Amino acid sequence: METTTAARPSTVAVQAASQTVNDCVIEIATVNGSGSQSANNILLKAIFRMGVPVGGKNLFPSNIAGLPTWFTIRVNKDGYTARREDVDIVVAMNPQTALDDMKKVKPGGVFLYNAEIKIDASALRDDTRNIGVNFRELVDQATDAIKLKKLLVNMVYVGILGELLRVEWDALVSTIRDQFRDKAKVLESNFKALEIGRQYAIDRLQGHFPFAVSEMSENRGKILIEGNAAAAIGMIFGGCTFMSWYPITPSSSLAETFIALAEKHRKDPRGKNTFAIVQAEDELAAITMVAGASWAGARAMTCTSGPGVSLMGEAAGLFYYAEIPGVIWDVQRVGPSTGMPTRTAQGDILGAYTLSHGDTKHVLLLPGTVEECFEFGMTAFDVAERLQTLVLVLSDLDLGMNVWIGDEFKYPEKPFDRGKVLDAAALAKLPKYSRYEDVDGDGIGWRTLPGTRDDKAAFLTRGSGHNKHAQYTESSPQYREVVDRLVKKWNTARGVVPAPIIDRTPGAEAGIIAFGSTNMPMREARDILRGNGVDTNYLRLRALPFNEDVEGFIAAHDRIYVVEQNRDGQMLDILRAEFPAHAVKMRSVRHYDGLPITAPHIAGPIFAMEGVSK
Amino acid sequence: MSTTPATVNRLGLSRGEYSGGKSTLCTGCGHDSISNHIVSAFFQSGIDPYDVAKMSGIGCSSKTPGYWLSRASGLNSIHGRMAPCATGAKAANRNLIMIGVSGDGDTASIGLSGFAHLVRRNLPIAYIVANNGVYGLTKGQFSATADFGAKQKSGRLNPFSTIDLCSMAIDLGCTFVARSFSGDAKQLVPLLMAALKHNGTAFIDVVSPCITFANHEGSRKSFAEVKEHNVILQELGFVHGFEEKTVDYAEGATETVDMEDGSKLTLRKLDSRAHDVRDGTAAISLLRAAREAGEILTGLFYVDAGHARETLTETLNLTEKPLAFLTDDEARPPREVLRRILDDYR
């Protein structure tokens, strides 16, 4: 099975026998639809089970099959698992991209390629270790079934990599066993392919390998999960009773996970559903189904991405003005327009904040970890029902679809907050009731649900001009009374939404403000900054509107760097508008090419603005 | 065979207790007659207003839920979105008796997709379109149900073909499809009562002349033209399940449609054409022929009273208690479920 190319690792000028342990980036280049994802996840999870910090990213095309796709695994003992741009080990399985993939390898790295891809020996680099493997011959040993070969070839490279990187065999075996636990036959053939790969590496690829993984104990009490799955689990335990959706990348996996989990775990004792899920005809319908469901008392949400949010604009105004609770979970992707559906961005901030015409503004929740995706999957409903308004949760593709380590999710101890709802018994005790009257002074009225058996309960909810009694009005003072009260409610919201999280470094002069998935490389970025003499304090926004902590943080610093993943600095705009006195000292760090932001993307511009040459 | 007028119904409620706010529509508007018939239908059916959810979109017709059943909650939503709002509301509280009033713009133009998909899902609702072929609030533009060749008040002729919501509804699997005229209480009230009892989507297209923008000659939906071209398919009657009376069959070919709750809708053929209301294909042909003949055919066209299609409530396999009122214990799985789910991520 050995090919000439495969026999030439010695032609490679790899430097001395140094070996980097628990710090490498592996990129596997395949073709969309080749079934490599589950194999890649097995490698990822096996490393996770060794207690080593690791993260995984799938860079995929907007395509069903045939276009290039890359899966990146970053192993890092310090827990830096966000994206790193350069690659240590490339596994090139896709002839279309192999030559470009080869160029990505850092000097001293490894280029492992399918020898069926005819790469001229002169084209191979001399500063990398090049390993050509005839995968066809190997997979032929694993199975005779043509259909399976395409899938099992992926397990062969996992076997090879596992051996070269010294991934614990037990970790690989247990991961595969768990992955295919209900499929004995699949399990068997995968084991066989894995073993063939491993044996090949033992027999043919011995000698120095520059990277290795080694057991650590960093992952006790941790899980490895995508933000979308975390959100779906949150919705299960947050008592989401209604979900409507229109399929759109990158949010579909949230809906699909919720469906699968709800079907299993949200049944009454008679096997009936304690939830309703409707796949809508479009986003206009998805959001207005949420309006109807919430109006009738369900904890209702829809998940979508930017184009869907745009379509939901008109309805967003109805939620705001008629004061109907509701949740939109926006897994942001690159815009404008259709943009790049499979790339990540934080470009919906401003649009979501003021979604809809007229004087409209919305509460935004900004999860920055998978734990928060879980938490907000529950509490978004509490916030929406407490404030009787639309809540938009802004996740993004990098947080939602990529794999992150998080603390094991904690079972919620707090009951649902259903907000201010008057039932018939409560109404019976009241001499009078008006839907939009601010009886408590917090700008939030009491609502009744349809079906309430009291004469005072019913009213016609409307998005047209209404007074505090929920009656139609075109009277200027009555209109003003309601919309001014909504501002009061907005100020109440500041204390209801999750507060920002502040991390201080003693003596730091510069402040960083970021949110969402930009949080992922932040620790690494701040460590780089600190290592070069720039200490920073960090405020991570978790919601809009801002509370007083945000202004306090800005006021306490001479220089504030607002880091975000969009072209125009949308959050910076909102901060400057909210805190004009501090507008000048807030500076922008932006990244917006569709790929996740990295630590150098953050540290570099800050060094430059701090006048630190590095 | 119609219900004898009584001062109070079986719940002890007077007709007045089914009323609503004062209408702000033009005097003589067909829609006000529809409101009046809706009040009659609810009153005679003895439906508790507390159990009702009134849904609408935007437009003259969509304002009308303010004019009846003020004891029932309502959602006057946004233009064209009555159907999805109703879908969400019914899913949230399966006990609500849903009635939706929409217009021809609201349903046949901006909300056509929502209408089609509501029908596909067989949402239990009495879905009324007050159909006048024009946009009234914006002063008389054609809507999608305006007849081909119909004349606008300004004299312009409609160059586009019309959307027949009834044919469309039948084709999409609607389980109760009828057309009526706002001025025909005798026909519309029984249809409304049957629609309220129907377990599934009951669609009634009610031709309802716009007194201000479409009551001129050539509009095809003026009072005079509707009266002239209206061909009534059947004489209708409705006997509630709770009424202790037998159906008094009149002379002629009378048939009975048994509703799921034990009520009966009676149909006495008035037109020479034979039509089986259980035959959807025939109903579509009938509607097409009538349209081509310039008739405004009214009556019950199609009904699946045998519950051949499941409703959305059934498709969703909903728990008996309305989702809206589930307690924490009912809507949050126990601790060990979280542990089990997380096992997949360890």
Mutate to test the interface with B, among A42, A233, A274, A381 (most CBs of B within 10 A): A274
Same domain for A468 and A394, yes or no, is no
Q: Is residue A204 part of a domain?
A: yes
> Structurally, how many domains does chain A consist of?
4
Nearest-by-Cβ selection for A274 from B72, B89, B323: B323
Q: pLDDT tens digits, chain B, 346 residues: what are they?
A: 444 566 999 999 999 999 999 999 999 999 999 999 999 999 999 999 999 999 999 999 999 999 999 999 999 999 999 999 999 999 999 999 999 999 999 999 999 999 999 999 999 999 999 999 999 999 999 999 999 999 999 999 999 999 999 999 999 999 999 999 999 999 999 999 999 999 999 999 999 999 999 999 999 999 999 999 999 999 999 999 988 666 555 556 689 999 999 999 999 999 888 899 999 999 999 999 999 999 999 999 999 988 889 999 999 999 999 999 999 999 999 999 999 999 999 9
H or E segment and range at residue A494: helix A476-496
ipTM exceeding cut-off 0.85 for this assembly? yes
Residue-level length of chain B: 346
Nearest-by-Cβ selection for A281 from B75, B117, B318: B117
CA–CA separation, A1 vs A116, rounded Å?
A: 12
Contact B291, B262 (CB under 8 A): no
Q: Is residue A478 part of a domain?
A: yes
Same domain for A484 and A514, yes or no, is no
The four Cα atoms B67, B72, B73, B78 give a dihedral, to 10 degrees, of: -40
Mutate to test the interface with A, among B69, B81, B96, B125 (most CBs of A within 10 A): B81
Contact A76, A50 (CB under 8 A): no
User: In CATH, what number is assigned to the domain containing residue A375?
Assistant: 3.40.50.970
Quote the minimal CA–CA distance from A150 to chain B in Å.
25
Q: Is residue A334 part of a domain?
A: yes
* Chain pair A-B, CB pairs under 8 angstroms: 226
Q: Which residues contact A203 (CB under 8 A, 6 or more apart)?
A: none
B77 vs A463: CB contact, 8 Å cut-off? yes
Provide the chain A residues 269-298 that lie in CB contact (below 8 A) with chain B.
270-278, 280-282, 284-286, 288-298
Q: Which residues contact B244 (CB under 8 A, 6 or more apart)?
A: none
For tokens 């000028």, what's the residue?
Answer: A13
Contact A541, A550 (CB under 8 A): yes
Tokens of B10: 């079986």
Q: For residue A10, is pLDDT > 70?
A: no
For tokens 């609500």, what's the residue?
Answer: B96
Tokens of B216: 């001129």
Closest CA to A387 of A515, A278, A545, A250: A545
Quote the minimal CA–CA distance from B165 to chain A in Å.
18
Mean of pLDDT over chain A: 95
Q: Is residue A483 part of a domain?
A: yes
Q: Which residues contact B314 (CB under 8 A, 6 or more apart)?
A: none
Band (pLDDT 50/70/90 cuts) for residue A1 is: very low
For tokens 């980097």, what's the residue?
Answer: A20
pLDDT at B304: 94
For tokens 């650590």, what's the residue?
Answer: A216
Quote the minimal CA–CA distance from B26 to chain A in Å.
17
Closest CA to B243 of B210, B265, B276: B265
* A519-528: average pLDDT: 98
Query: What are the residue ranges of helices labelled H in A205-325?
Result: 227-237, 252-265, 283-295, 306-311, 313-322
CA–CA separation, A544 vs A353, rounded Å?
A: 8
pLDDT at A116: 93
* Residues paired with A153 in a beta bridge: none
Provide the chain B residues 44-83 that lie in CB contact (below 8 A) with chain A.
49-51, 53-55, 65-66, 70-78, 80-81, 83
Q: Is residue A418 part of a domain?
A: no
Q: Which of A474, A496, A518 is the last residue of a domain?
A: A496
CA–CA separation, A458 vs B72, rounded Å?
A: 5
Same domain for A199 and A328, yes or no, is no
Residue A411 gets which letter from DSSP? Answer: P
Task: For chain B, give the longest Cα–Cα distance.
Answer: 76
CA–CA separation, B73 vs B99, rounded Å?
A: 11
Same domain for A379 and A482, yes or no, is no
pLDDT digits (tens, 9 = 90+) for A122-147: 999 999 999 999 999 999 999 999 98
* Inter-CA distances, A253 with A299, A400, A429, A587, A613, Å: 20, 9, 47, 35, 43
pLDDT at B272: 83
The four Cα atoms B315, B321, B327, B331 give a dihedral, to 10 degrees, of: -20
Strands of the sheet with A536-541, listed across from one edge: A501-503, A536-541, A510-515, A559-564, A586-590
pLDDT at A388: 98
pLDDT digits (tens, 9 = 90+) for A418-456: 999 999 999 999 999 999 999 999 999 999 999 999 999
Q: Which residues contact B120 (CB under 8 A, 6 or more apart)?
A: B172, B173
Q: Is residue A437 part of a domain?
A: yes
Which percentage of chain A shows pLDDT scores above 70? 97
From B67, which residue of chain A is nearest by alpha-carbon distance?
Answer: A460
pLDDT digits (tens, 9 = 90+) for A163-197: 999 999 999 999 999 999 889 989 999 999 999 99
According to the 3-state scheme, what is the secondary structure of chain B? Answer: CCCCCCCECCCCCEHHHHECCCCCCCCCCHHHHHHHHHHHHHHHHCCCHHHEEEEECCCHHHHHHHHECCCCEEEECCCCCHHHHHHHHHHHCCCCEEEEEEEHHHHHHCCHHHHHHHHHHCCCEEEEEEECCEECCCCCEECCCCCCCCECCCCCECCCCCCCHHHHHHHCCCCEEEEEECCCHHHHHHHHHHHHHCCCEEEEEEECCCCCCCCCCCCCCCHHHHHHHEEECEEEEEECCCCCCCCCCCCCCEEEEECCCCCEEEEEECCCCCCCCCCHHHHHHHHHHHHHCCCEEEEEEEECCCCCCCCHHHHCCECCCCHHHCCHHHHCCCHHHHHHHHHCCC
Contact A53, A219 (CB under 8 A): yes
Same domain for A400 and A438, yes or no, is no
Contact A94, A31 (CB under 8 A): yes
For tokens 């004489």, what's the residue?
Answer: B235
Closest CA to A92 of A176, A7, A5: A5
For tokens 């000698």, what's the residue?
Answer: A207
Residue A88 gets which letter from DSSP? Answer: E
pLDDT digits (tens, 9 = 90+) for A217-237: 999 999 999 999 999 999 999
User: In CATH, what number is assigned to the domain containing residue A117?
Assistant: 3.40.920.10
B323 vs A298: CB contact, 8 Å cut-off? yes
Quote the minimal CA–CA distance from A300 to chain B in Å.
9
What is the distance, to the nearest Å, from the Cα of residue B221 to the centroid of all Cα atoms in its chain?
19
Q: Which of A496, A518, A546 is the last residue of a domain?
A: A496
Same domain for A470 and A595, yes or no, is no
Same domain for A430 and A302, yes or no, is no
Provide the chain A residues 206-225 that lie in CB contact (below 8 A) with chain B.
223-225
pLDDT at A613: 83
* A332-338: average pLDDT: 98
Q: What are phi and psi of B82, to 5 degrees?
A: -60, -45
Domains and CATH numbers, chain B: 15-315 (3.40.50.970)
CA–CA separation, A509 vs A378, rounded Å?
A: 36
Closest CA to B211 of B28, B31, B22, B24: B28
Provide the chain A residues 232-251 that lie in CB contact (below 8 A) with chain B.
233, 236-239, 241-242, 244
pLDDT digits (tens, 9 = 90+) for A352-368: 999 999 999 999 999 99
Same domain for A505 and A571, yes or no, is yes
Q: What is the β-pairing status of strands B254-258 and B264-269? A: antiparallel
Contact A413, A350 (CB under 8 A): no
* Residues paired with B267 in a beta bridge: B236, B255
User: In CATH, what number is assigned to the domain containing residue A593?
Assistant: 3.40.50.920
Band (pLDDT 50/70/90 cuts) for residue A12 is: very low
Tokens of A331: 């897994």
Determine the residue type at A79: G
Provide the chain B residues 186-225 that lie in CB contact (below 8 A) with chain A.
none
Same domain for A368 and A432, yes or no, is no
Residue A354 gets which letter from DSSP? Answer: T
Lowest mean pLDDT among A53-67, A284-298, A462-476, B42-56: A53-67
H or E segment and range at residue A330: strand A326-332
Nearest-Å Rg of the Cα atoms of chain B is 21
Instruction: Find chain A residues with C-beta within 8 A of B54's C-beta.
Output: 460
Q: How many CB atoms lie within 10 A of CB A97?
A: 20
Q: Is B86 on the interface with A (CB under 8 A)?
A: yes
For tokens 């999608």, what's the residue?
Answer: B144
Nearest-by-Cβ selection for A449 from B86, B324, B342: B324
Band (pLDDT 50/70/90 cuts) for residue A582 is: very high
Same domain for A169 and A149, yes or no, is yes
Nearest-by-Cβ selection for A275 from B83, B323, B324: B323
Same domain for A237 and A364, yes or no, is yes
Residue-level length of chain A: 614
- Sort B305 into a burial class: Cβ within 10 Å, 0-12 / 13-18 / 19+: buried
Q: Which of A496, A512, A540 is the last residue of a domain?
A: A496
Range of the domain at A313: 225-407
Task: For chain A, give the longest Cα–Cα distance.
Answer: 92
Q: Is residue A419 part of a domain?
A: no
Q: Is B336 on the interface with A (CB under 8 A)?
A: no
Q: Which residues contact B237 (CB under 8 A, 6 or more apart)?
A: B1, B2, B190, B247, B265, B266, B267, B268
Provide the chain A residues 522-561 that lie in CB contact (below 8 A) with chain B.
none
Instruction: Find chain A residues with C-beta within 8 A of B341's C-beta.
Output: 233, 236, 261, 265
Q: Is residue A219 part of a domain?
A: no
Same domain for A452 and A561, yes or no, is no
Q: Is A474 on the interface with B (CB under 8 A)?
A: no
Instruction: Find chain A residues with C-beta within 8 A of B66's C-beta.
Output: 460, 472
CA atoms within 13 A on the CB side of B176: 30
A463 vs B324: CB contact, 8 Å cut-off? no
CA–CA separation, A194 vs A156, rounded Å?
A: 5
The four Cα atoms A576, A308, A255, A498 give a dihedral, to 10 degrees, of: 20
pLDDT at B249: 56
CA–CA separation, A125 vs A144, rounded Å?
A: 35
Provide the chain A residues 438-467 that lie in CB contact (below 8 A) with chain B.
448-453, 455, 457-464
